[in-house]
Amino acid sequence: MTATIALLAALLLGTTAEIPRGSQQLTVDLDGTELELFTYKPESYRDGPLILVFHGVLRNADEYRDHARGMGGRFGALVVAPRFPEERFPFESYQLGGLVVKGEVQPRSHWTWRFVSRIAEEVRRREGRADMPYYLIGHSGGGQFLIRLSGFVATDAKRIVVANPGTLLFPARDEKYPYGFGGLPDELSDDQALRRYLAQPITLYLGEKDTERDEHLDKRPEADRQGTTRWERGQNAFRAAEKLARDRGWTFNWRLVAVPEVGHDHEAMFDNERCREALFGPAADNGK
């Protein structure tokens, strides 16, 4: 009832209501593109951070929101899970970010990654908190979306958590995009681009038992050169990034957080005690 009254009052005043408590669904218009957002605000929420949660290949943002409610409660956070429907955002536009479509590099205005900051801005506007800190976490296909975003897009996210991705963007030019930076224009693949990538606040959040070569795993030769399983690929990407940063004397802001006894299961990854470290760091409390 309280949320309904607040919404009616906001409409009368010509403003947008803040996101109600509990589990909700809303549609936002971002520069002419409508996206569904599945939200969860704990009853005890008080000026906490925003966690944007990115679904996998099944596009089940509602389920991801439901399974992220534990994070909302533990961290005092507002959870928002956007849905990128496959008919509008197929593999090249979602997992690969829309950077290269049908072999052609697309202008930045066409990249799907552009919506991430816009979603954060919209939530901040509705909550009346322009400086609201936010974190990104994506699992599987959502992890692919975020690791590639990190290679080419600057956000003001506090942390970008890449959980159990099928393939990754290696910081090298000897593999073509989407596996590496090869084949891209110089401004997207030169040393400055690689340096920016290694300075991004990335956490590779990996389940130690994510070793099954299931039907969704990319098994092409380019993918298998990264490793034969998601667990191997994530470790190898981290080592390659760490070595390049060390060899070049570049800033390295990545970290690796491994979860024992967990496989390719986003709910188990979200609920694990190590999720706090993945998002906020080893000594963090609630990320505010």
Q: Assess whether pLDDT exceeds 80 at residue 5.
A: no
- Tokens, residue 155: 């956000």
Radius of gyration of the chain (CA): 19
Closest-CA residue to 144 (of 191, 84, 184): 84
Sole residue written with tokens 């380019």? 222
E strand map for the chain: 22-30, 33-41, 50-54, 78-83, 100-101, 104-105, 134-139, 160-163, 202-207, 255-259
Bridging pattern class, strands 100-101 and 255-259: unpaired
- The H or E element that residue 146 is part of is helix 141-152
Looking at residues 40-50, what average pLDDT do you find? 97
Looking at residues 282-287, what average pLDDT do you find? 60
Domain boundaries, the chain: 24-280
Note the CATH architecture for domain 24-280. Answer: 3-Layer(aba) Sandwich (3.40)
Residue 16 pLDDT grade (very low, low, confident, very high; cuts 50, 70, 90): low
Q: Please answer whether residues 254 and 235 qualify as being in contact, where contact means their C-beta atoms are separated by less than 8 angstroms.
A: no
Mean pLDDT of the residues in the chain = 94
Give me the helix-helix angle, 141-152 and 191-198, nearest 10°: 130
Query: Dihedral of CA 21/25/26/32: which sign?
Result: positive
Q: Please answer whether residues 223 and 237 qualify as being in contact, where contact means their C-beta atoms are separated by less than 8 angstroms.
A: no
pLDDT of residue 12: 40
Sole residue written with tokens 């990115």? 54
Cβ burial of 121 (10 Å; 0-12, 13-18, 19+) is: middle
Q: Assess whether pLDDT exceeds 80 at residue 196.
A: yes
Q: Assess whether pLDDT exceeds 50 at residue 288.
A: no
- What single-letter DSSP state applies at residue 176? B
pLDDT of residue 33: 97
